[in-house]
Amino acid sequence: MKTTVATPQADQAPSTAKGFNVGSIFRQDLGQIPVAIALILMALYFNATTNDLFLSARNLSNLTLQSCVIATIGLGSIMVLLLGEIDLSLAVVANLCGAVTCIMSVFHHFPWWAAILAGLAAGFGIGLINGLIVAFLRVPSFIVTLAASLGYQGLLLHILLPNTTLIITDPNLKGIAANYLPDYLGLGLPILGIALYAGYIILTRVRRLRQGLAVPPLWQTGVNLGVTIALVALVLWQFESYFGVPIMTMLVLAMIALFWVLMRFTTFGQHVYAIGGNAEASRRAGINVNVIRVLIFGLASMLAAAGGIFLSSRSADADVAVSPTLLLQAIAAAVIGGVSLFGGRGSVWAVVMGTLVIEGLENGLNLKSSGDDTKFMVEGAVLILAVIVDALLRRRSTAAGR
């Protein structure tokens, strides 16, 4: 009964070449190279047509500030999209929680940090409720969050009654969007981040060598680190040519980095991707799918709340009028950056690319004094393009499956 196990050409079993090259970093963590190229072309075009205004240090600094709200809410929408769900209430939740922070600060005289915590907690709570309805009552998330967004718009109107806006007085709250970090933080934090990243790469290399696993050639690791350092240095140089690194920009980047670590290196993040890929298989693998769903909706709404607080800080008030394009732009930022609407695919860093495309267009067209008509049409076209690419990629990957 002995069978022939030998197979002809026994090419040594599974190869392990882990893609540690620049290309894979872009693909996995910064969206896609095509998006990066489009971004560079767009920047060059706007710069050429605005007398070098677009790429001036001042404009770039402002561009990052304008991007913060969408990037933060976009980060929240990525969480939900990775699960294969969608949250249409994020923009309203953002305004609502921004208003909560303002009310706590103005009427209840909370210190700035307590007011912020109150806003974030409100967001988390709202998200948990959405998540509970989606996970346990099995109502499709788009309808739950659509209904929620209507309800919370009402609540927003209600808590600001009898006014429609509420002016912030606390200088610390206003300062988030208005102030810049001192150099020891503005330069120190990025350097710390780079050092941690380099340490991680080197440690991984050592561990893999010790385990007898394949490692990329040393020059590749070097190029990878070199490019990262060069990029960060370029950005810092731009910031330092103006007033320094804006507080809000740093906060957003820190949040993205934090969520990247959560999603990429922890079992929790791994399970989110797994659920987005195949919820039933995840459940059978013993993953508590419902608990993760609820938590992700909570985290997403908390991020939306942070976005709302940034929004209030920038405009120095809370407003009942929610920008009609905010939600779409946040989701678009995710999708343009390569996060799939079908779940389970894309990196947290996608939001950087996606937001820069959207806000870059907005900013550049503003500099060229184009009207809303042009802006909406261009942004709409870009979004459609991104969604088509997503659908095509998905079709290719499912076709390869069989």
Partner 1 sequence: MEPILQLRGINKSFGAVQALRNVDLEVYGGEVVGLVGDNGAGKSTLIKIIAGVYAPDSGEYIVDNRRVNVTRPQDATHLGIETVYQDLALCDNLDVVSNLFLGREDTISGLPFMNSTEMERRTIDVLRQLDVKIRSVHVPVSALSGGQRQSIAVAKTILRNARIVILDEPTAALGVAQTRQVLQLIKRLRDQGLGMVVISHNLADVFEVVDRVIVMRLGRRVASFDIKSTTTEQIVAAITGAEFSNGIDGQGASVGSTASVNGDEGADDGNHPAYQHESGKGSIQ
Structure tokens at 373: 């008509």
With CB under 8 A, what is the number of residues at the site for partner 1? 46
> Please, what is the minimum distance in Å from the beta carbon of residue 196 to partner 1?
14
Using the rule CB under 8 A, give the single segment among 8-16, 39-47, 166-174, 225-233 that binds partner 1. 8-16
Segment 198 to 257, residues that bind partner 1, using CB under 8 A:
204, 207-208, 211-213
Applying CB under 8 A, among 78, 79, 134, 287 the residue interacting with partner 1 is: 287
Short-list 352, 360, 385, CA closest to 46: 360
Applying CB under 8 A, among 8, 14, 162, 371 the residue interacting with partner 1 is: 14
With beta carbons less than 8 A apart as the criterion, state whether 347 and 338 touch. Answer: yes
Q: Does 137 bind partner 1 (CB under 8 A)?
A: no
Largest CA distance in the chain: 86
> Please, what is the minimum distance in Å from the beta carbon of residue 352 to partner 1?
21
Cβ neighbours, 10 Å, residue 171: 10
Q: Does 51 bind partner 1 (CB under 8 A)?
A: no
396, burial (CB in 10 Å: exposed 0-12, middle 13-18, buried 19+): exposed
AA identity, residue 211: Q
Cβ distance to partner 1 smaller for residue 37 or 258:
258
Short-list 379, 110, 387, 63, CA closest to 242: 63
Backbone angles phi, psi at 166, to 5 degrees: -140, 120
Applying CB under 8 A, among 267, 324, 371, 373 the residue interacting with partner 1 is: 267
Start-end of H helices in 337-371: 350-367
Cβ distance to partner 1 smaller for residue 208 or 375:
208
Provide the terminal-to-terminal Cα distance of the chain, rounded to the nearest Å. Answer: 32
Tell me the C-alpha to C-alpha distance, in Å, between residue 190 and each of 21, 179, 229, 250.
22, 18, 10, 9
Segment 338 to 367, residues that bind partner 1, using CB under 8 A:
343-345
Q: Which residues lie across from 166 on neighbouring strands?
A: 318
Cβ distance to partner 1 smaller for residue 264 or 368:
264
DSSP helix/strand/coil, 317: strand
344 Rama class: left (phi>0) / alpha (psi -120 to 50) / beta: left
With beta carbons less than 8 A apart as the criterion, state whether 347 and 28 touch. Answer: yes
AA identity, residue 398: T
Q: Does 293 bind partner 1 (CB under 8 A)?
A: no
Tell me the C-alpha to C-alpha distance, in Å, between residue 298 and each of 121, 159, 257, 402.
9, 22, 19, 36
Element containing residue 54 per DSSP (H, E): none
Using the rule CB under 8 A, give the single segment among 14-22, 58-66, 232-240, 303-311 that binds partner 1. 14-22
Q: Does 8 bind partner 1 (CB under 8 A)?
A: no
Q: How far is residue 318's CA from residue 96's CA, in Å, rounded to a whole number?
A: 8
Cβ distance to partner 1 smaller for residue 14 or 371:
14
Cβ distance to partner 1 smaller for residue 13 or 137:
13
AA identity, residue 4: T
> Please, what is the minimum distance in Å from the beta carbon of residue 263 to partner 1?
11
Applying CB under 8 A, among 113, 136, 237, 268 the residue interacting with partner 1 is: 268
Using the rule CB under 8 A, give the single segment among 140-148, 226-234, 285-293, 317-325 that binds partner 1. 285-293
> Please, what is the minimum distance in Å from the beta carbon of residue 341 to partner 1?
13
Segment 149 to 208, residues that bind partner 1, using CB under 8 A:
204, 207-208
Applying CB under 8 A, among 164, 241, 266, 374 the residue interacting with partner 1 is: 266
DSSP string, 203-220: HHHHHHHHTT-----HHH
Applying CB under 8 A, among 125, 151, 193, 277 the residue interacting with partner 1 is: 277
Site string for partner 1, 72-111 (x = CB under 8 A): ----------------------------------------
> Please, what is the minimum distance in Å from the beta carbon of residue 8 to partner 1?
11
Residues that bind partner 1 (CB under 8 A): 1-3, 5, 7, 10-11, 13-19, 204, 207-208, 211-213, 265-268, 270-271, 273-274, 276-278, 280-282, 284-287, 343-345, 397-398, 400-402
